Structure 1
Amino acid sequence: MGDEEEEARKFLERFAEEFPATLEGDSPLPVSPLSRRVSLEELHGESLEVGLKLLAARGAPAGLSALLSQTALSKLLQSDLSPFHCSQDAEAEDEEQVVLLESVAVQRVFLNELITVALAWHRSFPELPPPPSHFLQCCVHAIKNTRRKMEDKHVTLTEFNQLFGIQDGVRRAYYAVFDGHGGVDAATYASTHLHVALAKQETLQSDVATAFKVAFKHTDDMFKGKAKRERLRSGSTGVVALIQGPQLAVAWLGDSQAVLVRGGQAVTLMDPHKPEREDEKQRIEDLGGCITFMGCWRVNGTYAVSRAIGDFDQKPYVSADADCSVTQLQGDEDLVLLACDGFFDAVKPSEVPRLVLAALRRTAEPEGGGGEDTPSPGPAPSEAVAQQLVAHAKAAGSSDNITVLVVFLRPPELLLARDSPQGSSDSGASEASQQ
């Protein structure tokens, strides 16, 4: 029995002890739905979010969690959902009718499907597909900082294919950081639905840039419906990385950013969307808008970002048209870092290689007996690496929400073993643009 199977069996045993039967009709749900009402299209993302949250809180292996959630969702979508339809609001009679479901009731059905599947697998363990052949180590840390509310969201899905039942033989992993403003609703929505929209794109493998652009626009259109129904006014920038076979695709809206580190040097993957960027300024002015300086450059005197999901009071000036860059991975890449502007307002992209290496050194010291060149190999880098990057940005003056997500494309201990003289990563960093 492999380690993955043994871990999965032990989890199912614990899960069966906690949930020996499906939930009673009037019992509280073990995890709260994201919304009070959900459209049929939103049901996919919200159900997966509920399932993954429930399983993660109980220590489920990521691959098993994805397969359980995907299997339960497939069963839910084959069910008759008409008993859960909400009555339409009278004020919406003259608008396009959208079928809405009562979330608590329909998520109870979903969770019962998940429990039923888990109990069946506990009794008779199925032959599961193998885990990804190349496991990418990842660490993430996020803080509210001095802001009143935390409006960032992040997503890590190393089990992207398992979650969506994709069996085309192409390895995929998905990572995202969303930076909300005017509330967390848009960031929460994007973190729940963008990867679902992306997985449904037929061009995902053949033309990932187009797939990303369509997925971003579709997510924005979906959120527009929710925002209108629930009178929401928030927006969110976002940066997403999809590692697909030998490709790294990065798509973005707004000023959250991604940096690739290759051979100890920073590689520029993108140009963030800011109102003062000359082509963004021209685009907005051509539409009849303007850019004004009010502490920072703002679109029509309001938002400090020129592209985002949401912000419907300033569409089309604040655009939902994402950009995407695709980089062929050559095998000498160290890592890719995703972060919101709370990090990059205080840290230059060229500083990233040096800061990550310094954080790795400090993280390795206790286990390596003080020798920086001989760290003890561990499973995954602790959250301390991301924590130290966040702490650096805060100490450098950032007062905004800060989220930093680091995906190691090679084992961190190899980066330490290859460690060059201190400072060389910083002084020699190049920012070669990748198209």
Structure 2
Amino acid sequence: MQQDEEEEARSFLRRFLEEFPAAPEDGGPLPVSPLSRRVSRDELQGESLDLGLRLLAARGAPAAVGALLCQAAFTRLLQDDLSPFHCQQEVAEGEEPVVLLESDPVQRLFLDKLIDVAKAWHRRLPPLPACPLPRCSVHAIKNTRRKMEDKHVMLPEFNQLFGKQDGVPRAFYAVFDGHGGMDAASFGAAHLHVALSRQETLQSDPAAAFRDAFSQTDELFRAKAKRERLRSGSTAVAVLFQGQDLTVSWLGDSQALLVRGGLDVPLMEPHKPEREDEKQRIEDLGGCVTFMGCWRVNGTYAVSRAIGDFDQKPYVSSEADCATLRLQGDEDYLLLACDGFFDAVKPCEVPDLVLTALRPTPDPDGVGDAAAGPPDVATGAGVAQRLVAHAKAAGSSDNITVMLVFLKPPEQLLQSHGATAPPDSQDALQQ
């Protein structure tokens, strides 16, 4: 197996260097667009890693190799003098100046470092750490909305991306549901895991680490929103597998659901303005919760906690809730999804729907299910797509993102929980 992984890595490096023998020249387009025109030093790591991972994933890089390449390239980037990339900025009277970097030239330098590392590894491949990747299935659609404002992150190679070598296995997954634009969701997807990796309490108290990471991500976005006049917000749900522990942290109404032994296990309670404790918190701050088609904070946002939404802070809070539980080894899978899914699907319906989605459906015409596609029981691929199709058919008009992280082989789930699905769920997925 190790030999196969090394050969896959060498094959990728060869293809990559054939396409990129050198970094793109100044004036030419970058192969992947940076998220921002200008970045602060605090934002540089998240923006660079995001660009590198997108570039490498689009070219079929093995996940662990891509993470290690990006980590090594960014380490080299920080060793250079970045002052030539500083840009002029207007600073209001009484404010401290913030150093901003021009994204295009600094990311060209990052790509140059990435190519240098790839060349060195092509000549002599370093030992690749064992990184067994869980089977995952993810699917996202714009649905009937004008724009797609959801983002998601799948990072089973968390340790490799951040150079952590303490022997504790880690994996990070998150779903961000933007509103009022996609800036907040994109920012959270690029920076939350970076902020989490920097927390000193990551191993000893992951819940505290998550709370601080959310707070710091929100503050970073506040600075960006101010200088670029952005007004968007985003809910978020993120999980960290660390050793035998699972920590879930969230803002707003995106949700994580654990399934164990074929039964749903509640992990969290989403933040909604009508939730009694949230309503009380908002009113204690001098705000109000009113019904305008749905319950809204001060007549505006339909969520009570989020990244961004600075025109309604502190009523819309950026203080995340967290929960940690010890995994027992009998868990089936973890599902993360935005409210576009959970507004149409009850958590208790998920186990039957997933089992049904794993089974091949009758196809007398031999044309397959064009909306959802056939499942792959060995990998779990296609399951999220079928769940998204079900939520849409059940009436959801919102953006929908569904992510499943299988903690048991999908075929084992079918063997453990029976070969036939309840008629209602089978019919629902065929509609």
Interval of TM-score (by shorter of Structure 1 and Structure 2): over 0.9
Match of 1:156 among 154, 157, 163: 154
SS at match of 2:235: strand
2 CA distance for matches of 1:408 and 1:381? 8
Q: 5+ residue gaps in structure 1?
A: 367-374, 428-435
2 CA distance for matches of 1:387 and 1:312? 34
2:304 is the counterpart of 1:338: no
SS at match of 2:69: helix
Q: TM-score, normalised by structure 1?
A: 0.92
Match of 2:300 among 277, 302, 320: 302
Q: CA deviation at 1:144?
A: 0.5
Count of residues in correspondence between the two structures: 414
Are the aligned partners of 2:177 and 2:234 in contact in 1 as well (CA < 8 Å)? yes
2 CA distance for matches of 1:180 and 1:409? 28
1 CA distance for matches of 2:329 and 2:341? 27
Match of 1:390 among 370, 388, 398: 388
2 CA distance for matches of 1:187 and 1:376? 30
Q: 5+ residue gaps in structure 2?
A: 365-374, 426-431
- Structure-to-structure mapping, 1:27-42, within 5 angstroms: 27-42=28-43
Match of 1:69 in 2: 70
Match of 1:178 in 2: 176
Match of 1:207 in 2: 205
Letter of the 1:242 counterpart = L
SS at match of 1:115: helix
Match of 1:220 among 212, 218, 225: 218
Letter of the 1:232 counterpart = L
Match of 2:380 in 1: 381
2:161 is the counterpart of 1:168: no
Match of 2:369 in 1: none
SS at match of 2:360: helix
2 CA distance for matches of 1:135 and 1:15? 22
Are the aligned partners of 1:264 and 1:425 in contact in 2 as well (CA < 8 Å)? no
SS at match of 1:17: helix
Q: CA deviation at 1:93?
A: 4.5
- Structure-to-structure mapping, 1:32-431, within 5 angstroms: 32-89=33-90, 91-128=91-128, 130-132=129-131, 134-362=132-360, 378=378, 380-382=379-381, 384-420=382-418, 422=420
Alignment deviations for residues 311-365 of structure 1 (CA, whole Å, 9 cap, x no partner): 0000000000000111110010000000000000000001110010100113799
Are the aligned partners of 1:364 and 1:376 in contact in 2 as well (CA < 8 Å)? no
2 CA distance for matches of 1:340 and 1:57? 25
Are the aligned partners of 2:358 and 2:377 in contact in 1 as well (CA < 8 Å)? no
Alignment deviations for residues 174-223 of structure 1 (CA, whole Å, 9 cap, x no partner): 10000000000000000000000000001111100000000000000000
- Identical amino acids, percent of aligned pairs: 71
Match of 1:11 in 2: 12
Question: Greater CA deviation, 254-263 or 27-36?
Answer: 27-36
Alignment deviations for residues 119-163 of structure 1 (CA, whole Å, 9 cap, x no partner): 1111222223x232x421101000000101000000000100000
Q: How much is the aligned-residue C-alpha RMSD, in angstroms?
A: 1.9
Q: 1:37 to 1:285 in 2, by over 3 A?
A: same
SS at match of 1:2: helix
Are the aligned partners of 1:354 and 1:426 in contact in 2 as well (CA < 8 Å)? no
Letter of the 2:403 counterpart = L
Q: TM-score, normalised by structure 2?
A: 0.93
Q: 1:426 to 1:271 in 2, by over 3 A?
A: farther
Are the aligned partners of 1:178 and 1:236 in contact in 2 as well (CA < 8 Å)? yes
Match of 1:431 in 2: none
Are the aligned partners of 2:359 and 2:377 in contact in 1 as well (CA < 8 Å)? no
Are the aligned partners of 1:176 and 1:238 in contact in 2 as well (CA < 8 Å)? yes
Letter of the 1:331 counterpart = G
Are the aligned partners of 1:174 and 1:242 in contact in 2 as well (CA < 8 Å)? yes
SS at match of 1:362: coil
Alignment deviations for residues 271-312 of structure 1 (CA, whole Å, 9 cap, x no partner): 000000000000000000000000000000000000000000
1 CA distance for matches of 2:126 and 2:424? 50
Q: CA deviation at 1:24?
A: 2.5
Q: 1:376 to 1:153 in 2, by over 3 A?
A: closer
1 CA distance for matches of 2:310 and 2:357? 40
Are the aligned partners of 1:62 and 1:159 in contact in 2 as well (CA < 8 Å)? yes
Are the aligned partners of 1:342 and 1:398 in contact in 2 as well (CA < 8 Å)? yes
SS at match of 2:359: helix
Are the aligned partners of 2:273 and 2:304 in contact in 1 as well (CA < 8 Å)? yes
Letter of the 1:94 counterpart = G
2 CA distance for matches of 1:92 and 1:365? 66
The list of structure 1 runs, each at least 4 consecutive aligned residues, that deviate by more than 6 angstroms after superposition, is 363-366, 424-427
